[in-house]
Every structure is written in C-alpha cells, then in structure tokens.
Structure 1
Amino acid sequence: MTQTHTADTPTVLLVDDEAALADSLALWLERRYRVRVAYSGREALQAFDDDVDLVFLDRNLPDLPGESVLEELRRRVDSSSFCVVMLSASPDDELTALSVDDALTKPVTKRDIFEAAARLVGDAPEAKLE
C-alpha cells in the first residue's frame, strides 16, 4: 500500500542492526510517517539529514556504538531540531545521561513505538495501535 504524505509529515530514521526488527518498525510507522531505515551506524550517518525529525537509535550497533552515532548526528545539525529514542536490550541508567528524549528497552511493541513517536513528533492514529 502506497502512503501519501505531505510536506509536514514527520520523517523518522530507524537505526537497528536487527533487520527484521527495523523492517517491522518501518512497516508500522510508514502508515503515519516518512520512514528511512539504516542497519548500521554508518548507514545512519548517510541517511540522516536536517529533514529527520525523530531517530530511533539502537544503542548496540556492530560498527559504531549508538552513543557515537548520536554525537555525530548532533554535530551535524542543531540537536533541538530532532528527537532521539534510544533502543537498548537492557535498561540502563546511563541512557538518561545521554540526554535522549526517550529510551525503550527491547523487545519493543508496536504500542511503545507509536506512543514514543506520537509524544515526540505528533499523534499516531489510534487504529494503528491495535
């Protein structure tokens, strides 16, 4: 199904080396948002630009740590111009020290993802949460 988005539709960048998870998240979110997917830190750096409004960023990427990716993204554009949700397999107090907008512990649910996106860049249709 092709999605119609306007210029005001937020752009979400999903960064996770677990391709199945990243692709599932993209399928869920593309109904409401423009979605870009990256499976590594380096791909994330290539896919990111000032059009991105929200980044779901895996903390444990094989090529670059999520923290390093986040630092580079913040160097490129004003950090107030985009939001970051850090994804991690284990809850960790260090996540709050990263100054991210939200942190989710894997496994994440569709509801977790939509609620974070809605809170940070706009409402997601309730029907998509079921």
Structure 2
Amino acid sequence: MTQATPQDAPTVLLVDDEVALADSLALWLERRYDVRVAYSGRDALQEFDDDIDIVFLDRNLPGLSGESVLEELHRQADADDFAVVMLSATPDSELSDLPVDDALTKPVTKTQIFDAVARFVGDAPEVTVD
C-alpha cells in the first residue's frame, strides 16, 4: 500500500537537529500533510518558501539558532502567512517573548503535534492509495 498526501494538503516544515525526532515527526504527519524536513537552521531557510503553512522549529539548533531562523523567516515572509511552533527541551518563560504562535516542550507527543497543525492550518483527511 502506497501513501499519498491529499491534494492541496497544508505544508509542514519540521526543523530539528535531532534526526530521529525530526524523522519520527515526519512519519506521523506525512499521511495527511505535505512534509519537509530540515536538520539545521541553514537547511530550514533553504526549504522555506511561500508554500509553507506551519513550521515546527527547534529552539536550540547548532550554528544558526532557532531564534535566528525565526527572525529570518519573518524577514522573508509575512508572519500572517504561516504559523511557527517553537520546540524546546526545557519549559522556558522566554519563549513567550518570541514571535511564535505556540511552544511545545520536548518530548512532544503525536497528539500535541497533530493538535498544533489542526489548530493553525486545519485538519487534512488521511488518504491512502492502494
């Protein structure tokens, strides 16, 4: 059985240097959404374009930090055109000062990820093709 995302499915960009985590999140989401994965801040900026509807962004990326990526994303596009959910390993009151739509503390659950996507871009139906 081959999986396919629905036509016009929202596009999710997952940005995390923890490859296993990013790949797991992608596996969860790819049946309902168009998913792109970046393992660094620089990769995230290369993957980002007008098609992105929501970005899950690790705060503590090596090299180009999640906060720096966030600033650049907002320079590249209107912040109203996409949502950003910051991922952080520790609960941090400073996250409330960042221009993000939500923040999740790692480890994240499948329910938290799907709830965030549904809250900001709507829920896409699950589609499979034989």
Asked whether the equivalents of residues 5 and 30 of structure 2 are also in contact (C-alpha less than 8 Å), the reply is no
Deviation at residue 125 of structure 1 after TM alignment = 5.5
The two structures have a TM-score, normalised by structure 1, of: 0.92
Match status 1:3 vs 2:30? no
Aligned to 1:110: 110
Runs of 4+ in 1 over 6 A off after TM superposition: none
Aligned to 2:82: 82
Equivalents in 1 of 2:29, 2:89: separation in Å?
A: 21
Asked whether the equivalents of residues 114 and 124 of structure 1 are also in contact (C-alpha less than 8 Å), the reply is no
Aligned to 1:40: 40
Cα shift readout 1:95-123 (whole Å, capped 9, x = no counterpart): 11102111000000111100111111112
Which ranges of structure 2 fall in alignment gaps of 5 or more residues? none
Equivalents in 1 of 2:18, 2:73: separation in Å?
A: 21
The two structures have a TM-score, normalised by structure 2, of: 0.92
For CA contacts below 8 A with separation 6 or more, give which structure has more relative contact order. 2
Equivalent pairs counted in the alignment come to 125
Specify which structure has the higher proportion of strand.
Answer: 2
Partner letter of residue 40 of structure 2?
Answer: S
Cα shift readout 1:31-79 (whole Å, capped 9, x = no counterpart): 1100000000000000000110000000000111100000001100111
Partner letter of residue 118 of structure 2?
Answer: A
Match status 1:68 vs 2:68? yes
Partner letter of residue 4 of structure 1?
Answer: T
Which ranges of structure 1 fall in alignment gaps of 5 or more residues? none
Equivalents in 2 of 1:84, 1:4: separation in Å?
A: 21
Equivalents in 2 of 1:125, 1:111: separation in Å?
A: 15
Aligned to 1:123: 123
Query: How well do the aligned residues superpose, as a CA RMSD in angstroms?
Result: 1.3
- Secondary structure at 1:53 match in 2: strand
Equivalents in 2 of 1:110, 1:36: separation in Å?
A: 17
Partner letter of residue 69 of structure 2?
Answer: V
Equivalents in 2 of 1:30, 1:101: separation in Å?
A: 22
Equivalents in 2 of 1:122, 1:63: separation in Å?
A: 33
- Secondary structure at 1:62 match in 2: coil
